[in-house]
Amino acid sequence: MLTILNLAKNLWKKNMVSNIMVMIILCLACLVTNVTYNILHQMYYDYDFFKDTPLNNSLMYMGGARDENGNLKSEDVEKMNAVAEENEDIIEGISKMMNFSCYSADHTDGSFYVFDQITASYMKKGIKGEGEWLFDSAAKDGYYPIVVFNGELTPKYDMDGNLIAEKNGRPVYFPKYDDVGEVIKDSEGYPVDFPLYKLGETVELDVSAYMHVQQIGKIIPPKEMTIKCKVVGIIDSIEPFTFFLGNQYGTLTNDVRNTFSLSDSRDRTCIFFPYNEELFGDFDFCNGTALYYFKNNAPEERIQAFCADAKAAGFCTLGSDIIQKTKDVADNEFNDEFFLCYTLAGLSLISIICVSFLNIRKLTKQIAIYRLNGCGFMKSVMIYFTYFAVMYGISFLMFLGVLLIIKLCLSGNDIQGFLTVYTTNFTTAAVIFLVGLAVSAIASLIPFIFIKKKTPIENLKVG
């Protein structure tokens, strides 16, 4: 092995300028591939997220009736819900997603999200944290189980650098500062934005549930509830949470890419609550649309009949059609926008193969000399492959270095989406490395197609 490395090093020294140019091109190719893969992943994220969920076996319905404000009315949905009840043998459930606000004396206000069990089951994808998720446990002793994301604006450290979560739960105060930045002694200070929710903690939440359907000139007060809750789960990040909006600006959406991402709300504390008929059953949160989940074994003709009823009463789209449309849109975008990536990747491949061809003459004589001095044919192939592989390996390290520099420069700056595109993960990096190595292997084999045709003594005369 040492011999092979030594001899590969000798080959390297012969072509320094072209080697450096090829390495730069390869590094760029790795970068472009990585960016392409990340953008692709983002483009297809929603499709990948939803394609294997119950949403793929559902129907999104939107009623036709609107009120004097132009808002969708709930009566069509109520009628459709009644039809769904009649078809309960094919309907697995009706989505009950709701969004309110809540307040806790110990933890101030936050966003309050209600999920039905089916929706909660696939919203679980990608979530990391500790404890349980919704519907993993039932209410006990009057306490409803909740799952919490502690909003990022809630400071985790006080001014002394102490971790607030480890404090005794009482509010912590920032000191007051004067005009020149000095601490004002003996002042009460400003309360810090509230301690974090902790696993196992019990809390009373004041929930303000605003009804969706409003009327001009009439104030419909929210339904106020005080709910005793127990924190059964703490989530690390709300980035994975993405909701499918069935209705965008009053029209029925046919693409899951019209989703709402909770990542925009990561400043606020989010409380996730399991739908409860007793608490929310009499509550008109309907926004004029409904999402019906079908059972897995629902016969196709029954589904089509249900769809026909829905079409007769408003507008509808099958979840599977929505998801397929999402993929089609992503496919078109990919084809339209990635010509540059294909071109760069192709140029990189051509350049490395060209280097291989250009080296044939020089290489032929040198390999012939090695062969005449005891080097076997396979060993000579290994020497040249090692030369290419090392060159690619250095390019790959350069690529990782570039990513690190970008990450360090962007660190702390919230340029949404940009950082994601210019980072990598182990799988992506491994794939890029292996593909590049395979291309290096092919490029390194090319000269030997010609070298093998003649004896080493004949090849001596070529150079």
Partner 1 sequence: MEKIIEISDLCKSYKNGDKSMLKVLEGLDLTVEKGEMTVIIGKSGSGKSTLLNILGCVDGFDSGKYLFCGADTSRLSDRKRSALRGSEISFVFQDYALIEEETVLQNVMTPLYFSSKVKFGQRRKAAVKAIEAVGISELAKKKVSCLSGGQKQRAAIARAIVSEPKLILADEPTGALDSETAESILNLLFELNKAGTTVIIVTHDDDVAKKCKRVLSISNGKITEVTG
* Interface residue list for partner 1 (CB under 8 A): 2-3, 6-7, 10, 13-14, 366, 368-379, 455-457, 460
Closer by beta carbon to partner 1, 15 or else 56: 15
Q: How far is the CB of 377 from partner 1 (least distance, A)?
A: 5
| 370 neighbors 3 (Cβ within 8 angstroms) | no
Determine the residue type at 395: S
Closer by beta carbon to partner 1, 12 or else 144: 12
Residue 304, classed as helix, strand or coil, is helix
| 112 neighbors 207 (Cβ within 8 angstroms) | yes
Angstrom CA distances, 376 to 26, 373, 455, stand at: 30, 9, 12
Q: How do the residues of the chain divide into helix, strand and coil, expressed in percent and rounded to 5?
A: 45, 20, 35
Q: How far is the CB of 420 from partner 1 (least distance, A)?
A: 47
Q: How far is the CB of 382 from partner 1 (least distance, A)?
A: 12
Signed CA dihedral, 116, 118, 123, 127: sign only: positive
Q: How far is the CB of 452 from partner 1 (least distance, A)?
A: 11
Q: How far is the CB of 441 from partner 1 (least distance, A)?
A: 20
Closer by beta carbon to partner 1, 409 or else 457: 457
Element (H, E) at 301: helix 300-312
Angstrom CA distances, 456 to 279, 357, 396, stand at: 87, 19, 34
Closer by beta carbon to partner 1, 3 or else 162: 3
Closer by beta carbon to partner 1, 373 or else 411: 373
Phi, psi of 124 (to 5 degrees): -70, -20
Q: How far is the CB of 370 from partner 1 (least distance, A)?
A: 7
| 223 neighbors 209 (Cβ within 8 angstroms) | yes
Q: How far is the CB of 130 from partner 1 (least distance, A)?
A: 56
**Tokens coding 454:** 């003649």
Closer by beta carbon to partner 1, 229 or else 381: 381
Q: How far is the CB of 379 from partner 1 (least distance, A)?
A: 7
Q: How far is the CB of 9 from partner 1 (least distance, A)?
A: 11
| Residues contacting residue 306 through CB under 8 Å, at least 6 positions apart | 59, 83, 84, 87, 90, 91, 292
Signed CA dihedral, 8, 14, 17, 22: sign only: negative
| Residues contacting residue 385 through CB under 8 Å, at least 6 positions apart | 440, 441, 444, 445
Closer by beta carbon to partner 1, 153 or else 358: 358
Closer by beta carbon to partner 1, 13 or else 128: 13
CA–CA distance, 252 with 289 (Å, rounded to integer): 8
Closer by beta carbon to partner 1, 260 or else 370: 370
| 20 neighbors 402 (Cβ within 8 angstroms) | no
Closer by beta carbon to partner 1, 266 or else 454: 454
Judged on CB neighbours under 10 Å (0-12, 13-18, 19+), 63 is: buried
Q: How far is the CB of 52 from partner 1 (least distance, A)?
A: 52
